Structures are given as C-alpha cells and as structure tokens.
Amino acid sequence: MSQEQRRMAVLSAIVEDYVQTSEPVGSKALLDRHQLNVSAATVRNDMAALEDEGLIAAPHTSAGRIPTDAGYRLFVDRLAAVRPMSKGERAAITDYLEGSDDLDVVLDRTVRLLSTLTRQVAVVQYPSLTRSTVKHIELVPMSETRLMVVVIMGSGRVEQRIVPIGIDYMTADGAAALASARARINAATRDRRLADALASLATLHDEDSGTEDALTAGVLASIEEALAEERATKVTLAGTANLARSSSDFPMTLEPVLDVLEQHVVLLRLLSAGATQDVSGITVRIGSENPVSGLQSTSLITSGYGAGDEQVGAVGVLGPTRMDYPATMAQVRAVAAYLSRIVDA
C-alpha cells in the first residue's frame, strides 16, 4: 500500500467513525477499530499530514480529529462506486411507492420513504412542464357552451381548463366533429415537448378549417396557461424533525436551515442547479459548496429523475455534513430510479 493509499484509508476510517459516533477520532481508536496494519506512530504521522492538507481538524482542544468539508469531499470523490442496495431494500421501495397513479400521492410517498430510509430531510421537485412531453389531450363536453380540455403529460402530470365553445358537441353531429378534432389535435401534439406542441397546434389552428377555431384556440390557451403557471417551482418535503436529532451538528442554531426549508424557490434552485452529476447520476454538495449561507453546515445529495433520457425533476436529501454518504447516495439513487420508472410508465 502506497503512502497516499494509506492516508486515504486513515481518512476514510476517521469519516466512518465520526459519522457513527459523532465523537472526534484519535489514533488509538483508529488502531482499535480498523485493520490498518501499521504502527501508532505511522497513524499519528498520517493524521498530521491530513491535518496539514486541511482534510481533518481538531475541534477545540480535543486530542481527536474530525473531517473537514474538504475531507468529506475527498472521501466522496474516492468512493469506488455507489454501493447497491440489497434486494430487500429495493423491494421495500417498490412496495411503498407502487399502487397509485396520482402524482401528488406518489411524490408524497417518495419524500416520506426517503426521509425514513436516510433519517434526513427529503425533498422532491415536481416534474417540470417545460421539459415534459404531451401524452394525450382529452376533450370533454361539459355543456352546450363549455368544454373541458385535459392535457396529460408524459411525466404523469395532468392540467385541465374549461374553455368556451361555439358548437354544441353534445349532439350526435357534434360528438362526431369532436372525435375528429380530438384525433387531429392529438396527432399534432402527442409525444412532443410542450413548446413544440404549441407550435404544432398554432399551425393546426391556422390551416385546419375542419376544426373549430374556438376549440384549437382553447387548447392552445390551456397549454399556454399551464406553462405560465409552471408548477416546477413546487417542491414537497418530509423529515424536517430529523434535524432535531442532529442538532449538535449545527454550530449555532437550526434556525437558518429551517428558514431555507420554508423557501421552496430556494430549494428548487438547489435541486435543479449546481454541481454536475457524477457517472452514478448523483450530485453531492458539502458544507461550503452550498451557495446558500444558511445551508453551509449541511450536505445535499440529489439525483434527477425523468422519462427515458428526459430529466423532468430531482429528488434529494439534506442533512448535516456528518452523514453516511455511501448509504445515502445509494438510497437517493434507488428512489430516483424508481420514480423515473413511474413517470415513464
């Protein structure tokens, strides 16, 4: 084992022990708990070198050391791979999340499950309409003068609007005309992104004399309104109470973290921006890497989810930097993968 490999092993041991015990780790504890196969003097020298590099630090006058943000970052970067979850853990995720076609219910179950698995705060972003495709547009007569437009997204989201009409589609002739218009509208929009669907509908509106102007105009308005109201700014979260369990990990108070958790626009920005995902599809932002000052004593682990190759949202967990990174990364990735299968169904 080279000197660099040995020091990485010492750093990993310090991270693992500190995450488990929340106590600063000394050289004797490392030798007692880990098969490092080196002398106490070598471990002390390696710890001194790691401290000089800013990877570990001594809190106050303690003889032990704790990882710094840089130490956690190196530890995460050196993970050979995100460890797979057991068959039982994967089955538990499947059993809990399946059985509902309602997007709100699915996302609520997602954050509750993830907060339980990780014992951290879990947050999920609703699928973005701007990145969604149109699966189907249904046209339902409500009266002689009103019709409901139902836009079903590939992500599972459903948007509906009531539009005024000039033809009574509740008669036999009207029903036939509506069926024909429905077929043409779906042919122009199916499996297209919303922006592309709007362009196709605009062309249909201009060129298709067989479809009532009020009908295509109403469908256009429905999609435009849905985009204008873009609910991608909506997030849902669970497990805030878990922060109290780790209150000693926050230097002063939990108040700044709780303040940020109430600002859903900030959470959305954190979920959808920032560091590039690694090859495992996971983004990890540690301590000072978080751009929001109130979160610089926390770590955020996120993964995107979507339909096919299309990412439409993100899911993640937030907690103190003293976090079980390998397990949490695996859990976030597994939940995101299952959520992707649901929205792609």
- Confirm whether 34 is domain-assigned: yes
Rounded-to-integer distance, Cα 283 and Cα 131, Å: 20
Asked whether residue 197 falls in the same domain as residue 319, the answer is: no
**Do 67 and 323 contact (CB within 8 A), yes or no?**
no
The answer to whether 124 touches 103, Cβ cutoff 8 Å, is: no
Q: Supply the CATH number for residue 40's domain.
A: 1.10.10.10
> Quick one: 244 and 120 in the same domain?
yes
Q: Quick one: 122 and 253 in the same domain?
A: yes
Which helix (H) or strand (E) segment holds residue 67: the answer is strand 66-67
What pLDDT shows up at residue 275? 41
Does residue 135 form part of some domain? yes
Query: What's the pLDDT at 62?
Result: 67
Looking at the fold, whether 148 and 47 belong to one and the same domain comes out as no
- Is the domain of 29 the same as that of 113? no
Tally helices (H) and strands (E) across the chain: 13, 10
Number of domains composing the chain? 3
Asked if 114 and 134 sit in the same domain, the reply is no
Q: What is the pLDDT of residue 130?
A: 64
Question: Residue 149 belongs to what domain range?
Answer: 130-229
285-297 pLDDT per residue, tens = 999 898 888 888 8
Residues 119 and 239 in one domain: yes
Which parts of the chain register pLDDT below 70?
61-62, 80-82, 100-101, 129-131, 155, 209-210, 226-233, 252, 273-280, 307-308, 344-345
CA–CA distances in Å: residue 93 to residues 106, 127, 237, 290: 12, 20, 17, 29
The reported pLDDT for the residue numbered 16 is: 92
* pLDDT at residue 66, as a whole number: 93
* In a shared domain, residues 62 and 197: no
Q: Is residue 82 part of a domain?
A: no
CATH code of the domain in which 144 resides = 3.30.390.60
**Domain-terminating residue out of 180, 197, 229:** 229
Domain boundary (229, 263, 294) is at 229
- If asked whether residues 106 and 236 sit together in one domain, one would say yes
Longest pairwise C-alpha distance within the chain: 92
Contact 147, 163 (CB under 8 A): yes
**pLDDT at position 88:** 78
Smallest Cα–Cα separation from 279: which of 344, 333, 341, 342?
333
In this structure, the answer to whether residues 178 and 141 fall within a common structural domain is yes
CATH code where residue 272 lies: 3.30.450.40
In-domain check, residue 263: yes
Shared-domain flag, residues 93 and 185:
no
Same domain for 275 and 297: yes
Domain boundary among 77, 106, 140: 77
Q: What is the pLDDT of residue 264?
A: 80
